[in-house]
Amino acid sequence: MKHTSAILAAMTLATMARADTLAERLWAAYDPVQSVSAELRRETRAEGGNTLRMLSRVHWRRGDRLHAETVTPIRRRVVADGMKLFSYMEGDPLGFARPIEQLDPDWRISLRKIPATPTEYLLRLQGVAETERPATSEHPVRRGYDTGRVHAVLCLDRDGRLACVETYADAEANEPIAVHRFEQWEERAGAWFSRRQHMETRVDGQRLRETVQVLRLEVNVAMPDLLFQPGRFFKDVRFTDDLRRIYPPGETER
């Protein structure tokens, strides 16, 4: 067992060495992860307002396979079969479906990020030049990335894990727009998974706090192909590739 772990660690380090930026090296470290299954309990609390709780189950597999189901507060299912993504929310007049390569970048990142990891941020920063940012006592390594829309800062803890992502309006801003922290780490398949995540941001001047707890985490387990066959899960649902037909101008996508 120790021999296998040593080989896996060496392979991961070799893969990371071929990448240029910290974001690329961190993403490359997840190469051994082929599939993930988990339950996500998400709680979003608005300052002085209500608390929204969501329960989701997700099955992810490399090759653009995804089966994600939100069961509360509104049922929604997303299934991707490697070629096309299908999404339907209970109560909508139509579902949404589009070939994966024609999806907007945000949809593709949502499809390809690995559950229970910080990989959503890493995917957004692939190919983006980095700059050094001042270290802190908590985060000895910090790197900044200007995406053109925001300035993201990756912060590593003393064990080399991506413990925090800070988002700023620009490189000169002192106050972050959002801070996303990753906690309760577990090593699986030679990669780090975060069982608990916290995010704090401001929307329209209101502070929002979100916590995600990851339960029933399974990594590199066999998943039946039936999970990723949309025809089995969308009986009598009609689909469109135009979101405006589901949410006409003036209406907000739920």
**pLDDT truncated to tens, each residue of the chain (254 aa)?**
445 444 444 444 444 444 699 999 999 999 999 999 999 999 999 987 789 999 999 999 999 999 999 999 999 999 999 999 999 999 999 999 999 999 999 999 999 999 999 999 999 999 999 999 999 999 999 999 999 999 999 999 999 999 999 999 999 988 999 999 999 999 999 999 999 999 999 877 789 999 999 999 999 999 999 999 999 999 999 999 999 999 988 665 55
Residue 206's pLDDT is 82
- CA distance linking residue 221 with residue 224, whole number of Å: 10
Q: What pLDDT sits at residue 19?
A: 60
Q: What is the 3-state secondary structure (H, E, C) of 48-98?
A: CCCEEEEEEEEEEECCCEEEEEEEECCCEEEEEECCEEEEEECCCCCEEEE
State the CB neighbour count (10 A cutoff) for residue 180: 22
Cβ atoms of residues 89 and 76 within 8 Å: yes
Paired residues of 142 in beta bridges: 155
Cα–Cα dist 44/10, whole Å? 39
Which residue bears the tokens 């329209």? 204
d(CA 66, CA 53): 22
Rounded distance between C-alpha atoms, residue 143 and residue 170, angstroms = 14
Give the integer Cα–Cα distance in Å for 109 and 101.
11
Q: Which residues contact 148 (CB under 8 A, 6 or more apart)?
A: none
For residue 29, what pLDDT is reported?
97
> Residue 36: left if φ>0, alpha if ψ -120 to 50, beta else—which one?
beta
pLDDT of residue 16: 46
Which pLDDT score is estimated for 17?
45
Q: Tokens standing for 203? A: 């929307």
User: In degrees rounded to 5, what are phi and psi of residue 135?
Assistant: -75, 160
User: How many DSSP H helices and E strands does the chain contain?
Assistant: 5, 14
Separation of alpha carbons 161 and 139, rounded Å? 10
200 forms beta bridges with: 179, 209
